[in-house]
Amino acid sequence: MIEVRLTVPTSVERVFAVLADGWSYAGWVVGAAHIREVDPGWPGTGTRIHHSVGAWPLAVKDVTTVLDVDPPRMLELEARLWPLGVARIRFEVAAVADGAEITMAEEAVKGPPSLLPESVQGLFLVPRNRESLRRLGDLAARKANP
C-alpha cells in the first residue's frame, strides 16, 4: 500500500468527524466531483457513499463502501471507479504531541491500475493523497476554530 502522513493541529475526534461526514468527501477527496447520496448510518460497516468522479459530461458514477471502522482511530474503504478500477483505502488517526497524525494508505486492487508496480502507482497516488490529506486536515482544523 502507498502511504502518506500529515500532522494537523487538532484532535483525533475532529479529524474523524470529517471522515464520518460522507457529504464532505467531494470537498477534500481529490477527484471527487459530486456526492449523490450517503447511506444512513455512514460510516458503519457496509454503508456507502454514492459519488461521481470527473467533470461533466464524462463523470463516472460509482460508490465507496466502508469495509471496517474503529471510531475515531480507523476507517477502511473500498472506492470503486469502474471500469477504471477499485482501490482499498485506509485512514488511521493517532494523537501526537502537536495534534493528530493522519495516515492514508491506498492500493489499487482491481482494474488496470492494479497491474502497475507499486512504485508506478505511487507516482500518481502520493501527490493526490497528500493534497487530499491537506484538505482533510484544513477541514478538521476549521471545525476546531469555527
Q: What is the pLDDT of residues 34-50, one digit of tens each?
A: 999 999 999 999 999 99
Structural domains of the chain, ranges and CATH numbers in brackets: 2-144 (3.30.530.20)
Percent of the chain with pLDDT over 90: 74
Which tens digit of pLDDT belongs to each residue from 66-86?
999 999 999 999 999 877 789
Q: In what order do the strands lie in the sheet with 99-110?
A: 2-8, 99-110, 85-96, 74-81, 60-70, 48-53, 32-38
Q: Report, as an integer, the average pLDDT of 97-103.
A: 97
Cα dihedral value 99, 16, 145, 96, nearest 10: 0
